[in-house]
Structure 1
Amino acid sequence: MPPYTIVYFPTRGRCEAMRMLLADQGQSWKEEVVTKETWLQGPLKASCLYGQLPKFQDGDLTLYQSNAILRHLGRTFGLYGKDQREAALVDMVNDGVEDVRRHCGRLIHHNYEEGKAKYFQELPERLKPFETLLVQNQGGQAFIVGDQISFADYNLLDLLLNHQVLAPGCLDSHPLLLAYVARLSARPKLKAYLASPEHVNRPVHGAQKT
């Protein structure tokens, strides 16, 4: 039995970054897929610490909150920078990804058709900090922090890939981010996962079947 179990809806959502991390690190995991019907029945929701998914099992450790899970995996696999300075920057990047993810979530779940034009018009400015960080780190030829991959890279990569699904070409004004996506996506184990049915067939969000 794999030591890890992801309990979540049949979407990429808030679990795809951790799935990409596990796949790239050569780890296996079990998926427990929760349907909307099961969730609406109530008992599972009531059993979750914050009344929400994902739920993540690492042996006898149960975690909720997707960013806490990513940080846990970052510590487990040495994906948290090489020192305290880099760890602080990794945290900062991850919080920046969360800001954009929340904006995107509001668009998807509340006013996609009416709001998408304005959202993607404003997207370049929201992504600018990540391009700035890339420039500052080896001229944009490496990772988002330092010279080794971190859990924030997987989270940022997931965010960017999702936006490319929702609006192809939306990264064209950020060539360093485009190159970053291509570079990370070419990592052999990650490339295999991104080509797998498990990834390809999952919608980005439950409310948007793309």
Structure 2
Amino acid sequence: MTVPQLYYFTIRGFAEYIRLLFLDNDIKFEDIRYEYGGKEWEEVKKTMIFGQMPCLKDGKQEIAQTGAIMRHLGRKHGLNGSSEEDATFLDMFFEGVRDVRMKYVRFIYMDAETREDIVNKTLPDCLEKLEKLFKIHSGDFIIGNKPSYADYILFEELDAYHHLDAHILDKFPALKKFWEMMWQRPNLKAYLEKRKADGVWINAIEKGMK
């Protein structure tokens, strides 16, 4: 059986959702990382579908775009809910979290707003909506007691926002409980602790890291 190959930079970025999904579900994969802005990547990007990463090579298929990769893995590994209704809800949740991520990205890379605004207004407003959505279904995860592909983007984003402010999740008990639970997942814990100890950057710049 061919081991899937994940291509991305040496940061967490958008590929971290994919890495976490593989690790948590004990799926073997090759984690190929390039230095951001390095010469090696400048050559490799010429071979990529859109000239960007993440890129997943799974058997004979090359897949670009984060959402497409995550949904592919969700379908392939039974992480897409158990019905069309579940799949649609997860799709909506995933896209909602991606929208929040883009607000965070604009703060990190473009100084679109102040740290005070992003921590005290923008992110809390978004987290309030995600908290309500998360509580629609009972259980430890977005849907019930089995993880889905969308749980990995949610966890990684909550972890990134926690780097900005250690108390940002305090007003959102369901999300905070989920974030704490994910940190203790047997297949993730050692990786997350090493990632933290190594100070792996979330973004291509260090802004927002503790």
Task: Flag whether TM exceeds 0.5 (same fold).
Answer: yes
Q: 1:58 to 1:40 in 2, by over 3 A?
A: closer
CA RMSD of aligned residues (A): 2.2
Aligned AA (1:88) = T
Secondary structure of the equivalent of 2:188? helix
Aligned length: 207
**8 A Cα contact 2:8 2:15, kept in partner:** yes
Post-superposition Cα deviations, 1:10-35, rounded to whole Å, max 9, x if no partner, equal 10000111111100111222222212
Which residue in 2 is equivalent to 1:61? 61
**8 A Cα contact 1:81 1:150, kept in partner:** yes
Secondary structure of the equivalent of 1:36? coil
Higher relative contact order (CA 8 A, sep 6+): 1
Which one has a larger percent helix, Structure 1 or Structure 2? 1
| Shift in Å, 1:206 | 1.0
Secondary structure of the equivalent of 1:63? strand
Q: 1:75 to 1:116 in 2, by over 3 A?
A: same
Q: 1:36 to 1:133 in 2, by over 3 A?
A: closer
Aligned AA (1:120) = V
Q: Pick one of 118, 136, 159 that aligns with 1:161.
A: 159
After superposition, where does 1:124-139 map in structure 2 within 5 Å? 124-138=124-138
| Shift in Å, 1:143 | 1.1
Which residue in 2 is equivalent to 1:105? 105
Question: Is there any run of 5+ residues in structure 2 with no aligned partner, and where?
Answer: none
> How many percent of aligned residue pairs carry the same amino acid?
31
2:201 maps to 1:203? yes
Q: 1:156 to 1:199 in 2, by over 3 A?
A: farther
Which residue in 1 is equivalent to 2:115? 116
**8 A Cα contact 1:130 1:144, kept in partner:** no
Aligned AA (1:65) = Q
Structure-2 separation of matches of 1:198 and 1:182: 15
2:82 maps to 1:45? no
Structure-2 separation of matches of 1:172 and 1:156: 16
